[in-house]
Structure 1
Amino acid sequence: MEDPSLAGADDSRFTRRLRLEPVGPANASELWAVHHDDAVWPWYGGEMPTLEQAGQWATFMGDSWRLHGVHKWIAYDRKTGEVVGRGGLSRTPVDDDWGQIYDFLPAEPWVRVAHGVHDPFVAHANWVEIGWALRGAFWGRGYASELGRAALAFAFDVLGVQAVVSCTVRHNVRSRAVMERIGMRYVGEIRSRGLVEGVEGERDDAPYAVCVLLRGDWERSAATPAVP
């Protein structure tokens, strides 16, 4: 992967197989293609999004890149140009829902500090969420882990955050496996609106598995020599 210090927050980034482009209004159709995929949309409210909805999401993500310096990328296959998925980071709102994460982070002042720019919402300054969604044709080939590792490098080496968190509904075993594969540690569960295994539709008390990676653990892993 390229040296993350060589690129700005809104630049293209590259991994071994992927080209990552910050999502903005111009990427609405690609974002729609990801979330319209049969392997993806059932995890997000149980309804296929319209192109108009995808456009609204893309505009919001573009605003977040501009104002908060980060949000999701569209991931393209570097050889074919195909849309593989979307993923990366986002700042988390300072609200009661995300406040549940405080119990899993160090009891230090940086945890509750708000980002200096309060648009498009008041967000945490020193920790971000990581996530990914890949089209079904690309599952099982290591792309999610590749995307996840690129996002971790961006979080710690470019944004300089103190922690990265990831949340997924308890029964999303594939996503949980990716979290562990990229070095994140399972810390517990929170309850929020989402899907419950075996229950139709969303519920307000769905169980979410939470994983965390702290800056110190990232730096130690980066300093550990690879096993030949």
Structure 2
Amino acid sequence: MAEYTERLRLEPVGPANADDLWLVHGDDEAWPSYGNEKPDRLQVERWAASMGESWRSHGAAKWIAYNRVSGEVVGRGGLGRTPVDDDWGRVYDFLPAEPWVDVVHENRHPSVVHANWLEIGWALRHEFWGRGYAAEVGRAGLAYAFDVLGMEAVMSCTDHHNVRSRAVMERIGMRYAGDLWSEEFEGALGNPPLTVCVLLRKNYQRSPTTPAD
């Protein structure tokens, strides 16, 4: 089911959205901020299928963001379940020392993931940079995580030099938690460190600019 913000319609990604996901990840100015090399079309199709499966099995994954008026693809963003493995386990250092941190989601298909905290992220086509869309998607993701899914925490990480993404994290209320020095960490963009930001449920405040419906 789609979610709506002031300017965007957020559609859960699945195989049918592969063309639109490719518009984002195939953007020559956008992809260097989100990977070490430009993905090919087949890889993006696999991502779309994997996101669709995550929506079905775990109730959370990324959205495609469409302009509500023009229907243009603005970007993709939203939430992701994090695998229970040694790499993502390094994030425990940035979360409270509480039992919920390492609890496993009850559905272990297609992968074993954390039950009580999520990763959040965004990627925009370059022509939509600088207009506040990333923060709009981010706030919608936080609302979905805390108000709909009842998560205990949401985290995000980015290359330390990605000042745009770091600024968005701060703008939507996430707090700097530290730097992660790990070349092996999933999603690492070149050399470490990765900047990690976290928002706990107890510190979350709904933005008045994010509609509830």
TM over 0.5: yes
Aligned residue among 9, 31, 37 for 2:27: 37
Q: Which residue of 1 aligns with 2:162?
A: 172
- For the residues of structure 1 that align with 2:136 and 2:36, how far apart are their CA atoms? 27
- For the residues of structure 1 that align with 2:84 and 2:58, how far apart are their CA atoms? 14
Q: Which residue of 2 aligns with 1:58?
A: 48
Residues 1-228 of structure 1 aligned to structure 2 (within 5 Å): 11-193=1-183, 194-195=188-189, 202-203=190-191, 206-218=192-204, 221-222=205-206
Shift of the alpha carbon at 1:170?
A: 0.5
Runs of 4+ in 1 over 4 A off after TM superposition: none
- For the residues of structure 2 that align with 1:37 and 1:94, how far apart are their CA atoms? 31
- For the residues of structure 2 that align with 1:71 and 1:187, how far apart are their CA atoms? 23
> Which residue identity does 2:49 align to in structure 1?
T
- For the residues of structure 1 that align with 2:134 and 2:206, how far apart are their CA atoms? 19
> How many residues are treated as equivalent by the alignment?
204
Conserved 8 A contact 2:21-2:64: yes
Q: Which residue of 2 aligns with 1:199?
A: none
Q: Which residue of 2 aligns with 1:3?
A: none
- For the residues of structure 2 that align with 1:56 and 1:128, how far apart are their CA atoms? 21
Q: Relative contact order (C-alpha < 8 Å, sep 6+): which is higher?
A: 2
Shift of the alpha carbon at 1:45?
A: 3.1
Uncovered stretches (5+) of structure 1, i.e. residues with no partner: 1-10, 196-201
Conserved 8 A contact 2:143-2:206: no
Identity, in percent, stands at 66
- For the residues of structure 2 that align with 1:180 and 1:39, how far apart are their CA atoms? 23
SS at match of 1:114: coil
Conserved 8 A contact 2:179-2:193: yes
Shift of the alpha carbon at 1:52?
A: 1.2
Shift of the alpha carbon at 1:223?
A: 9.6
Structure number, greater radius of gyration:
1
Show CA shifts across 1:24-73 (max 9, x none). Answer: 00000110110011222112333222221111000000000000001000
Conserved 8 A contact 2:139-2:207: no
Query: Against the structure 1 CA distance between its residues 216 and 36, is the aligned structure 2 distance closer, same or farther, given a 3 Å change threshold?
Result: same
- For the residues of structure 2 that align with 1:105 and 1:153, how far apart are their CA atoms? 19
Shift of the alpha carbon at 1:101?
A: 1.0
Uncovered stretches (5+) of structure 2, i.e. residues with no partner: 209-213
- For the residues of structure 2 that align with 1:138 and 1:24, how far apart are their CA atoms? 23
